[in-house]
Amino acid sequence: MELTCKHVVTDAKVENLYTCLTGELKNDMDEFYILSSLHPSSVICGHSREAARYFINQTETFDRGMYGGPVGWFGGKDADFALATGSALVQKGRGSRIFVYSEAGIVKSSKLYDIWQELEFKTRQYESLLEPYTHLEIFPNMNAVWAFLIVEECCRLGITYFCIAPGSRSSPLAVAAAQNRHVSCISCIDERSLAFHALGYGKGSYKLAAVITSSGTALSNLLPAVVEASQDCIPLLLLTADRPPELHDTGANQTINQVNHFGSFVRYFSNLPPPDDKVPARMVLTTIDTAVFRATQEPFGPVHINCAFREPLAGVSCQWNLGSLKGLNMWMSNREPFTKHIRVTQFQFSEELMNTYGQYKEVLDLIGGASRGLLILGCLQTAEETWAALSLAKHLRWPVVPDILSGMRLRKLPFATAESEFSLCFIDLLDHILLGNSVKNWVSPDVVVQVGSKLTSKRVAQLLEDCAPHAYIMVQNHPYRHDPSHILTHRIQASVVDFAVIIREFCTPKEMGSWCKWLQVLNNMVEWEISFQLNADPLLTEPYVSRAVSQSLFPESVWFLGNSMAIRDADMYGLSWSKLPVGLTIDGLGTAIPFSGLRVVGNRGASGIDGVLSTAIGYATGSNQRVVFMVGDISFIHDTNGLTLLRARAERPPITVLVVNNHGGAIFSLLPIADTAPATIFRNFFSTPHDVSISNLCLAHRVKHVIVQTKQELETALLISQEGQLDWVIEIESCIEDNTACHRVLQQSAHHAVNHAFKILSMYSQNTSVKSDTLQFSVLKLEYSRYRIPLNAPATAISMKDQTQEAYREGFILTLFLDNGKRGYGEVAPIGPQNEDLLDVEEQLRFLVHRAHNMSLNYLISLLNNSFSRWIWKDIGIPASSLFPSVCCGLEMAVLSALAASSDSNIADLLLATDKTQNVPSSEVETETRPGKVPSRVQICALIDSEGPPEEVACAAEKLVEQGFHSMKLKVARRSGPLEDVAVIQAVRKKVGNLIEIRVDANRKWTFAQAMQFASHAKDCNLQYIEEPVKFPEDILRFCKESDLFIALDETIADIADQPLDRLSIFVHPKVVATVIKPSRLGGFERAALVAKWAQKHGMMAVVSAAFESSVSLAAYAQFAHYIDNKNLEAVRASGKQDTTAVSHGLGTYSWLRDDVIKKRLQFQVYPKCDRIEVDVDDATTILQNIEVNPDTVKPICVEAKINMYTITVNYKEACFSFHVMDTGINNQNGNIQDKTVVFLHGFLGTGNDWLPLMQALSISARCISIDLPGHGKTHVQKSPTIQNNGNAQSIPFAIDDQDKIGDTNFSIEVLAKVLCGLICQISHEKVVLVGYSMGARIALYMALKFNKQIAAAALISGSPGLQDPYMRMTRSAQDDALAESLLGGDLHSFVEMWYKRETWESLRFHPYFEKVRQERFKHDNLKELAKALTSLSIGRQPSLWHELSGCERPLLVIVGKKDSKFKKIAQQMCNCKVDQPKHEEEGTNQTQQITVLEVDDSGHAVHLENPLPLINAIRKFVMRTLTAAQEA
């Protein structure tokens, strides 16, 4: 605090005595506290203020106005305000600096002493706000003075975090730091841990931390952290105490040569002399200024100041010369550093300037001319660098290989295909892609640009070395050489930001073509394979830990990685997030990409294992972010003293420490030394096993500890630890042998997956009928026909007492037509009314027929790595999960058979990527010989009709054996008790002998007790397995433990088909020996292949089974079974086991078919040189590619409904509404139009075209009509004083109330509802169901409430009853009016772009059909009418309908998307409204009508566009229910 001299200032009329009080605000003070302390000022209220204020309030009847209150402003960096007799300026920064000006007026009778005292009185109240002034003269000795100067100058330079190691010689520095109010201090007994902690603080805060140590070996312990900081360019300030020169080389205690102790690892060193009053004290300040400047100048790094101190080290008073303080007055009067180092950055661009520098021009030419460019992102340390790299990736459109430390390895994008939509091509798993031998030779970039240094992946680094000499451009902001392979051709010292600007400004890259697309395909394949292996393994493995942690991290968290295996596993198996948090859209450096990256940090300067725990704690402190730290056990034990820092718990967020404890050094087991060193040497000197108790270490430091051993325990611990406010140590039990085996399985499976995908890319890119870069065909059309096949006996799933004389199998045959003339066939066979019936299925088929015109196919679908599901999403625009399983299976069958026909092969060869020229599957492409080749025939298991006495069933089994069957299945649990089934099994076994495989299937019909009764009596029957013996899946493992029978899974798999790997893991048991795979129940071949792969991984049989489908499905299943057998052989060989016997597949249902859908049926027979019934794959191929339909069982082809488009005119007072109508539906057999009518009303900017897919699907059940609402599409409103009839337009008068008004400018929702009722009267004489979306939903709700005679019910999609608050209605009206003005004042394109940027449409924006939706919106041709609709039909002008819901007499179906939180809440509020009894019994039912709410998965606001199939099904059932009830009433 400093008080300037008093001065006299004279203005035009008044003289004032004024002064300025300068100082620093106390830590707990802010501007608002100042105001409350200073106002009212003493000049107004006197002293004391409370009494004076009361007196003034009682005596004065006027307002003192501006004179009585503060005037000014507050900003982010400073504040300036004035009071009645003074003013204040507050400057924020390193402590808030305040300048307070006060004055006293001099009048004619003033006495100088009184004025002087008045000014003293006024300024006195300010002094309590300020920190006391530090007088250097008060320090007891020069040690204290210099220590104060060092610490204070550090504070002024922004160094406010001091890490102090206990010691005597450093006590002046420690005391000075502890007493400085701007400093935060932390202490640790271990200098090594302390230095790493300071290093972590610098990483997290991008600011220096200061380390204070004593002399001697204390500073030697700083060396590891200094090396890491130097290598990683992290600024760090080392303040080391030292003995004075006279004690050196004397044997004095704790005295070593500390000069240049850290050598070249520091950017600057200074050896301060012992404090002396003969040395100007300002020398200390300039030394600190220089050191900090050097630490923060490129290249950043540590600096060392060695501080010698003589005794006395404590605060003992000694005489010292104040003259040494000369020149410090200015420094003491402010808060600025003594020497200000100013950095001048000049960065200008012009094309001429760039061309002047030949090297830059050469780099630009190389990048612009690259055909196979590769962008590698190394360690990026700031968010600015990350965003610059992202903008560079978007501009180049090259494949991007992000290192785990780049900030873009773990990223969030809104949906799976978002990266390609934004011209981003991330290749996260290039490390594993390079495991494929053929791929490794193909991946040969011609230009590599790397930003950020040091890559984690050794294989990627080896690729760059193997591809040399190619153009390899490194961009770094420091001069150090990071080129261990000596292959760099160009090195650019520049920031990533500057380099990105140069490239974006002056370089236009070439299209990459197939180079980028192929790498993405390979990356997706590897990602799928790794995910499968990790999720299919029930054990908690170390790679799974990395994946689980990467997926569990909160967006605001930081993942800090230890070295050795921790960072390598994270780099190989960490998974980028798949979904963006709602509402989060980041625009970085103009990229306009919805993107969220997760910060990942590690000590990769020297990559040592020491000090990482301390560094992570320091990072959390510096960044003020929650840190999840993953480390190995050896590294954790190496830095045990870091637990003292964890326990210290400075002001920082909590830390979760994950210790992967495999009891040794696991990384060495993956290195060549593990195979070459003797076991004893390897164990003692490399793997270094230990028995240290981590839990006891944590207990000793009082740190919370938990140990996890399963996946579920890990996920629970991660969730709890990140939600709480405590530090956690989570110990993950592992072992070196399991870790080694897991890594080898992952690498081996990735190797096979990459080779397989690459073989498909290579083979089919040579096909002249497809585009080489996309491998695509176009779909011309999709057709379907319905069939009905008589069965010889009822399906075996039916109990004996429910069987009837006649049994049929019904379904549909699909035909897919490609533009190359090829066709694909599929069968859709619903499994029963309890799950999906024919009408459900046909709705979806009609939808697909309509959408087929927009579809294209590519060979990559045959990868079965979610490729078919992605194709459904991207090309058809629906989630695959929304298709019924039988529909998904039939469509996939048609797609695969069409692709197989296009390649002149079959489904098995297509899936195996068999090269016909070599007849070798891709999975064995490197194998010179193929011993044990799988025959091209499939063995069949017979299905026995178990009805009848035991002897009769046994005789039937004997006949099957005579026919050539070596395997058969009997149905059980269909008789009166288990013992009857046992009698049948015993009779069959006795008849056929022990060489025949017998399977039984209980179809979940037994209780656990009944199943155990069967098992105890059938244990000697030598059963291969029993399928689904118990009702409840949770009893399966119990049955395995308590019985002697082997188990097969069937219905259990079908029930969890959506996420099989997540839920199947509990069934890994030695007694579970098989999975029965029905593609039509699982939802297609992709899911079936996944289950089969899981089964084969765990040594189970994968049995493909039919569900009484026709020869079309049987032919496809036979080919699929052949594929599964080949994959099983591959899995067996990979595990090192001997080849197993072939599996008999469950296709024996063919004998149940009395007729078939095709004339030439699939043959099941005993082939030459074979002794058992088989089906030939080639025969199945011929059947599926040359289908001749049987007209006796197949009905004619079902075609799309015809759409009739016409105009209906409704005249309303002086207005003429010309509605564009689209009408579709199927006539009944008697030729009459459907008696059920559904009318669709679109939302704002929509048209009736939005409903066409839904109308096509629903047209088999009801007449469907969509209308372009006024202002939209082809509907127009105009003044018309006379009623007109033009062309086919119709017009009838419609009665209205006199109070209804309509003019040129607007029309209300009330008016429009009446007009629409007039239109409905022309369309239908019966009541209709309204289906409305958004604006259309509000109109539909209004009509349902007001017009009972025309409206039977309403389905409301994302609709609202309105706004209840009048102020909100007024506000919304004004907003919509402003939008309408912008529409009229601009152009439609800009308005549409603006409209769909709203948060409401976030889910729709990332739908694959969004671009098509946008293009439809651009077709509106009358902006005036569109703007009129926006204002007139605004929800702000609509009357609130909330109070009328309780009296609603019509059923309401309220439909919302699960992602639409706003309308989910509205829907729930609507549902909670109590609905009274109908007022008119004759017009409704006598039951209370309910408002039903339906939440649709995978959709937001625009449910009908985002996920239409569940909507179609719900609307059809709603329409049928309500209209049938209305007609009956």
- Residue 1313 half-sphere exposure toward CB, CA atoms < 13 A: 25
| C-alpha closest to that of 784 among 815, 811, 820, 806 | 815
312 upstream amide cis, omega within 30 of 0: yes
DSSP letter for each residue of 867-916: HHHHHIIIII-S-GGGS-HHHHHHHHHHHHHHHHHHTTS-HHHHHHT-BT
Helix axes 1177-1185, 885-902, angle to 10 degrees: 100
Instruction: Give SS3 for 750.
Output: helix
Active site residue 969: yes
Identify whether the C-beta of residue 131 lies closer than 8 Å to the C-beta of residue 23: yes
Identify whether the C-beta of residue 715 lies closer than 8 Å to the C-beta of residue 552: yes
Strand partners, 72: 81
DSSP letter for each residue of 199-210: HHHHHHHSS--E
**Which is the catalytic residue, given 203, 394, 969, 1274?**
969
Distance CA 1331, CA 1308 (A): 20
Query: Beta strands of 286-398 (E only): which ranges?
Result: 302-308, 373-377
| C-alpha closest to that of 923 among 692, 676, 756 | 756
Q: What are phi and psi of 695, to 5 degrees?
A: -65, -40
H or E element at residue 962: helix 950-963
| C-alpha closest to that of 563 among 506, 622, 625, 609 | 609
Distance CA 728, CA 628 (A): 10
Distances (CA, A) of 881 to 614, 619, 812: 47, 43, 20
Distance CA 666, CA 664 (A): 6
- List % helix, strand, coil for the chain (3-state, nearest 5): 40, 20, 40
Distances (CA, A) of 374 to 447, 501, 516, 773: 6, 18, 9, 18
What string of H, E and C letters represents the secondary structure of 783-845? EEEEEEEEECCCCCCCCHHHCCCCCEEEEEEEEEEECCCCEEEEEECCCECCCECHHHHHHHH
Q: What are phi and psi of 1247, to 5 degrees?
A: -145, 175
Identify whether the C-beta of residue 1131 lies closer than 8 Å to the C-beta of residue 1140: no
Distance CA 450, CA 471 (A): 11
**Which is the catalytic residue, given 122, 454, 1005, 1078?**
1078
Distance CA 1420, CA 1244 (A): 11
C-alpha of 64 from chain center:
60
> How many other C-beta atoms can be found within 10 angstroms of the C-beta atom of residue 1260?
17
Strand partners, 1238: 1264, 1329
Identify whether the C-beta of residue 1018 lies closer than 8 Å to the C-beta of residue 1048: no
Active site residue 704: no
Indicate the DSSP class of residue 753.
Answer: H
Q: What b/e readout covers 283-299, taking b as 16+ CB neighbours within 10 angstroms?
A: ebbebbbbbbbbbbeee
Q: List Cβ neighbours of 323 (8 Å cut-off, separation of 6 or more).
A: 277
Largest separation between any pair of C-alpha atoms in the chain: 136
Distance CA 444, CA 371 (A): 11
| C-alpha closest to that of 445 among 462, 467, 414 | 467
Which residues form the catalytic set?
Answer: 969, 1078
